[in-house]
Structure 1
Amino acid sequence: MAERVWALLGTAAMSVALAGCSTGPDPSAACAAPSPAPPAETALIPAGLSFDRIGTVTHVVATGGNITMQAVSTQPLDELTVLIQDAVTAAGYRPAGMDNEGFEAEVFFTAGSLAAGQALVRRAECEGRWNIDLVLIDPAAVPSSTAPGG
């Protein structure tokens, strides 16, 4: 009887040890498709700014005269920085430079003489994906002589 108990304990211990070696029941679950931001949030995106060629906008908020967008992209980093610059420029902001370190990048924008925003792109946990945090001055909060598009 004691041998049987030890055998069962050994089998149970081996099962626990092997379970610890697995990557979980569904390793791709953590990399599910990003959820798009609801229409009430995407309505806050400045006119002319589209991430259609960039990726999925997952969150947008307007606070304190700024608009903050979060997105996820599968574009290569070098192409992604150019696409972000083009998208924000189409909304009336002006490019003010880039810094690409290969594992993250920043893209800067102006509106007239004002520093008007920045996109920060960082490698996501899911391989081949990039997280984008874009902060822009809300065009409604900028004096008309320097407002994007004005």
Structure 2
Amino acid sequence: MVVRALIATTAAVSAVLLAGCSGSDAKGACPTPATAPPAETALLPAGLTFSSFATVTHVQKTQGHLTVRAVTAKPIDEVTVLIQDAVTAVGYRPAGMDNEGFEAEVFFTAGKYAAGQALVRRAACEGQWDIDLVLIDPAAVPSPTPGPSSPKR
């Protein structure tokens, strides 16, 4: 159920947000993606950074979810690993990847819960990829409860 909600949220964010690469100049080069304002990047968990591989263009926190939109020129095979490294560095665990060459998804868990997904798709500009990352707020994940203790004999 949580995974479906994350996928639906990612799809909705992708449809609504069209930031990043919106056209080209007379020489056919893509414009530099606009960096998210500091008030938005301040919403990122401490240690979560895409600075070595992508430009973060939008960050939003709503109802226990963090949504990050970014643009990169790194190859899709490389960017999926870099996203995984960035997200696991702040405490999430990798839960798998699906890379079809034109689109890729990276999945994350927190404890025993599905906790997020990054979707990487071709951008409107040649050679660029759009990244849509949705994570649940770690504070929203219930603490693991100990199971029933075995009876003493």
Q: TM-score of the superposition, structure 1-length normalised? A: 0.76
Cα contact 1:46–1:138 (8 A) shared by 2: no
Which residue in 2 is equivalent to 1:77?
A: 76
Q: Distance in 2 between matches of 1:61 and 1:116?
A: 16
User: Which structure is higher in helix share?
Assistant: 1
Distance 1:72 1:113, change over 3 A: same
1:94 aligns with 2:88: no
The code of the aligned residue for 2:61 comes to A
Which residue in 2 is equivalent to 1:26?
A: 26
Q: What's the offset of the Cα at 1:140?
A: 2.6
SS in 2 for 1:28: coil
Q: TM-score of the superposition, structure 2-length normalised? A: 0.75
SS in 1 for 2:86: helix
Q: Distance in 2 between matches of 1:144 and 1:25?
A: 51
Cα contact 1:59–1:71 (8 A) shared by 2: yes
Q: What's the offset of the Cα at 1:141?
A: 1.9
Quick check: which has more Rg, 1 or 2?
1
Distance 1:108 1:33, change over 3 A: same
SS in 2 for 1:46: coil
Q: Which has the higher contact order (CA 8 A, sep 6+)?
A: 2
SS in 2 for 1:80: helix
Q: Distance in 2 between matches of 1:138 and 1:81?
A: 21
Give the length in aligned residue pairs. 122
| Ranges of 4+ aligned residues in structure 1 off by more than 4 Å | none
Q: What's the offset of the Cα at 1:28?
A: 3.5
Q: What's the offset of the Cα at 1:26?
A: 2.0
Q: What's the offset of the Cα at 1:144?
A: 4.2
Runs (5+) with no aligned partner, structure 2: 1-23, 146-153
Q: What's the offset of the Cα at 1:143?
A: 2.6
SS in 2 for 1:125: coil
Which residue in 2 is equivalent to 1:108?
A: 107
Cα contact 1:46–1:139 (8 A) shared by 2: no
Cα contact 2:25–2:31 (8 A) shared by 1: no
Distance 1:90 1:62, change over 3 A: same
SS in 2 for 1:50: coil
Runs (5+) with no aligned partner, structure 1: 1-23
The code of the aligned residue for 1:26 comes to A
Q: What's the offset of the Cα at 1:53?
A: 1.5
Aligned CA-pair RMSD:
1.8
Q: What's the offset of the Cα at 1:115?
A: 0.2
1:50 aligns with 2:77: no
